[in-house]
Amino acid sequence: MKKTLIALLSALIATIAISVSVTLWQERTETNEKMKEYKNDNLNKQKTIEQYRLKELKNSQKQINQTDDTFDDELTDLLMNNRDLINGLYSYSSTETRLENIKQYLTEDQYAKMLKTSADGHQENIKSKLDSLNVYVSEGENQSVRTIVNEVTSATEIDNTIMKQRIYVKISYEMQKEKWKAKEILFTAIPSEDIKMGES
């Protein structure tokens, strides 16, 4: 009788243990499946977020590049105009043709000012040659108005006498009909001990 009771108890315990094990295994399997679903769902969300982020980054980079390209083109045009204007101001064989050669780079007001100044001056036999040019572009909030400071070294010949000079030429440009025009020009002489005089 005792043996039978023990056997029944052992069988019952084994059955309960198996049932519990099966239940735990099922729960663990379900938990693992849910975890897989969560992971997959999270992975998909992360992929979507990453794709969106890359798309936004690409779009913003494209906008930046377009802005940079526009800025580079405008700056190139500005620097080319500035170079040609400085060349016209400091490389000439006659003062009579000098102003006409740079007229296309000036606003109407600036041209009128320079025309009046040249009419008031002496019309000596003057020639000039640009020796060197350093250019400094100022940063400005208004992109339609830009300022350039030019450090110019030139050799001016007056009645067979050559004079070397260094000067700062500050030029304010403004955009007019999609072209950069000099609206104001300020000249400041640079004191120098190495100004050379000579006979040609």
What 3-state class would DSSP assign to 193? coil
Question: What's the pLDDT band for 65 if we cut at 50, 70, 90?
Answer: very low
Say yes or no to pLDDT of 197 above 70.
no
> Which pLDDT value is given to residue 160?
81
Question: What's the pLDDT band for 199 if we cut at 50, 70, 90?
Answer: very low
Contact between 152 and 83 (Cβ < 8 Å): no
- Which tens digit of pLDDT belongs to each residue from 76-113? 899 999 999 999 999 988 877 888 999 999 999 999 99
- State mean pLDDT over 163-176: 92
Using a pLDDT cut of 70, give the percent of the chain over it.
58
- Which tens digit of pLDDT belongs to each residue from 120-159? 555 567 889 999 999 998 866 677 789 999 999 999 888 8
Pick the CATH number of 1-200 from 3.40.30.10, 3.50.50.60, 2.60.120.10, 3.10.450.50: 3.10.450.50
Instruction: Look at 49-63, 67-81, 104-118 and tell me which has the smallest mean pLDDT.
Output: 49-63
> What's the CA gap between 139 and 146, in Å, rounded?
8
Q: How many residues are recorded in the chain?
A: 200
Q: Where are the domains of the chain?
A: 1-200
Say yes or no to pLDDT of 178 above 80.
yes
> What's the CA gap between 45 and 120, in Å, rounded?
77
| Burial class of residue 74, CB neighbours in 10 A (0-12, 13-18, 19+) | middle
